[in-house]
Chains A and B, each alone.
Chain A
């Protein structure tokens, strides 16, 4: 099983600031890495796949980078609607595993 570790667990950011979220895989997942956003009471929404490709309709302020075992999600200028929990997920093998999540909260 590939273990995905996200850091930090909680990130306090002021609106308009940049947020940088990290995700580490216990072994290489190549670029088979996705990011999701989840708001309370809602299903997750796909933001990024292939480590850096934005899903349809995702604003350009969201960007993903990395390959192998180290990945980053950057939100360039946080908007009020971006405060949520973010999950990374590997899909390099069929057993798709998620990280534990990073909560982005208002500072």
Chain B
């Protein structure tokens, strides 16, 4: 059974750096073709992909946010970490992590974590 869970702060101040952790079970991020991605959703708005990391450590970022994002993995801990620098109130959103394979873009999702950016 595949599960994912996001963790991190619920409130950050403008200009601060956000660090989110996705802890998963039921699969290995060392298996060929497997990836974990981060997606966010501002309140009442649509979904937006942020970053992806694959089993081979290939990393991909949203072009519009690339300068602010870093994604890393710790295969031994079954964790993927996303950092986003210079947070702004417009970054207020629910942040999800999701499991990706070659055939399924996001077959399993975490429950999401709401991050509010406010002073």
Chain A interfacial positions (CB closer than 8 Å to B) = 1, 32, 34, 36, 43-46, 49-50, 55, 87, 89, 91, 94-101
Contact = CB atoms under 8 A, between A and B. Distances in A.
A45 to B, nearest CB: 8
Interface of A is mostly: loop
B104 A99 contact: no
Contacts of B52: 94, 96
B105 A95 contact: no
> Which secondary structure characterizes the binding site on chain B?
loop
B107 interface: yes
B63 A34 contact: no
Given A98-B48, A98-B49, A43 B105 contact: no
B105 A89 contact: yes
Contacts of B106: 34, 36, 44, 46, 89, 96
Nearest to A53: B103
18 contacts: A34-B104, A43-B96, A43-B110, A46-B105, A46-B106, A46-B107, A49-B103, A55-B107, A91-B105, A95-B49, A95-B63, A96-B37, A96-B49, A96-B105, A96-B106, A98-B46, A98-B49, A101-B46
Contacts of A1: 63
